[in-house]
Chain A
Amino acid sequence: MSTADDTTASTTTDGQAAPEAPAPGPGATRSRITPRNAIRPALIVALLAFVLLAFPSIFSLYYIDAWTQVAIYSIVTLGLGVLVGRVGMVSLGQGAVLAMGAWVAARLLFATGLPFPIVLLAAGVITMALGTLVGLPALRMSGLYLALITLMLAGAITVALSNINFPNGGSGFTGYNGASVHIPPIRRPSVATTDPAFFRYSVVVAILMFLLVLFHIRGRPGRAWAAIRQSESAALAAGINTTFYKLWAFALASFVTGVAGALVAGSFRYLNSLTFATQDSITLLAVVLMGGAYSMSGAIVAAFLLKFLQALLNDWSVSPDWLTILFGIGVLQVLTTAPRGIVEQLPKDLARLGRLVRGLFTRTAPAGGQAE
Chain B
Amino acid sequence: MINVSGLTVRFGGVTPLDGMDVAFDAGTCGLIGPNGAGKTTFFNVLSGFVQPAGGGIEAFGENLLKMTHFRRARWGVRRTFQTEQAIEELSVYDNVAMVHEHSKLGSGSRREETLAAIDFVGIKADPSAKVGTLGAGERRLVEVARAVVGKPRLVLLDEPAAGLPDEETEHLGEVIRRIPEQTGAMTILVDHDMSLVSACCATTAVLDFGKLLATGPTAEVLRDEKVIRAYLGTEEVL
Contact = CB atoms under 8 A, between A and B. Distances in A.
Interface of A: 6-8, 10-12, 17-18, 21-22, 24, 26-29, 220, 223-224, 226-227, 230-231, 233-234, 236-242
A27 B49 contact: no
B161 to A, nearest CB: 18
B94 A21 contact: no
Contact of A28 (B89, B93, B103): B93
B128 A240 contact: no
Among B87, B111, B119, the one with the most A-chain Cβ atoms within 10 Å of its Cβ is: B87
B73 A239 contact: yes
A17 B126 contact: yes
B127 A29 contact: yes
Interface of B: 47-49, 69-70, 73-74, 77-79, 81, 85, 87-91, 93-94, 97-99, 101-103, 107, 110-111, 115, 118-119, 125-130, 146
Contacts of A11: 128-130
A231 B91 CA distance: 17
A10 B98 contact: no
A96 B47 CA distance: 38
Chain A interface helix/strand/loop/mixed:
loop
Contacts, number: 104
B128 A22 contact: yes
A226 B89 contact: yes
A231 B85 contact: yes
Contacts of A12: 126, 128
9 contacts: A17-B125, A21-B115, A22-B127, A29-B128, A223-B90, A224-B98, A237-B85, A238-B146, A241-B70
B128 A10 contact: yes
Contacts of A230: 85, 87-88
Contacts of B48: 236
Chain B interface helix/strand/loop/mixed:
mixed
A27 B128 contact: no
Contact of A236 (B49, B88, B127, B146): B49
Contacts of A223: 87, 90, 94, 98, 101
A21 B118 contact: yes
A120 B107 CA distance: 35
A28 B73 contact: no
A233 B49 contact: yes
A8 B49 CA distance: 30
A233 B93 CA distance: 21
A196 B204 CA distance: 75
A238 B79 CA distance: 8
Contacts of A241: 70, 102
Contact of B69 (A17, A29, A231, A237): A237
A27 B101 CA distance: 9
Given A27-B97, A28-B91, A223-B94, A237 B47 contact: yes
Given A11-B129, A233-B81, A234-B81, A24 B93 contact: yes
A240 B125 CA distance: 26
Contacts of A6: 89
Contacts of B87: 223, 226-227, 230
A234 B111 CA distance: 22
Contacts of B125: 17
A26 B93 CA distance: 10
Contacts of B78: 237
A28 B85 contact: no
A26 B102 contact: no
Among B89, B91, B119, the one with the most A-chain Cβ atoms within 10 Å of its Cβ is: B89
A223 B86 CA distance: 12
A26 B130 contact: no
A269 B29 CA distance: 70
A29 B94 CA distance: 9
Nearest to A30: B128
B85 A234 contact: yes
A24 B128 contact: yes
Nearest to B124: A17
Contacts of B79: 237
Contacts of A238: 73, 98-99, 102, 146
Contacts of B126: 12, 17-18, 21-22, 29
A226 B88 CA distance: 9
Among B47, B85, B110, B146, the one with the most A-chain Cβ atoms within 10 Å of its Cβ is: B85
Contacts of A234: 81, 85
B85 to A, nearest CB: 4
B134 to A, nearest CB: 12
B152 to A, nearest CB: 11
A365 B93 CA distance: 42
A233 B46 CA distance: 13
Given A24-B128, A29-B128, A233-B47, 6 more contacts: A27-B94, A224-B102, A231-B85, A237-B79, A238-B146, A240-B70
Contact of B111 (A18, A26, A231): A26
Contacts of B111: 24, 26
Contacts of B130: 10-11
A11 to B, nearest CB: 7
A86 to B, nearest CB: 10
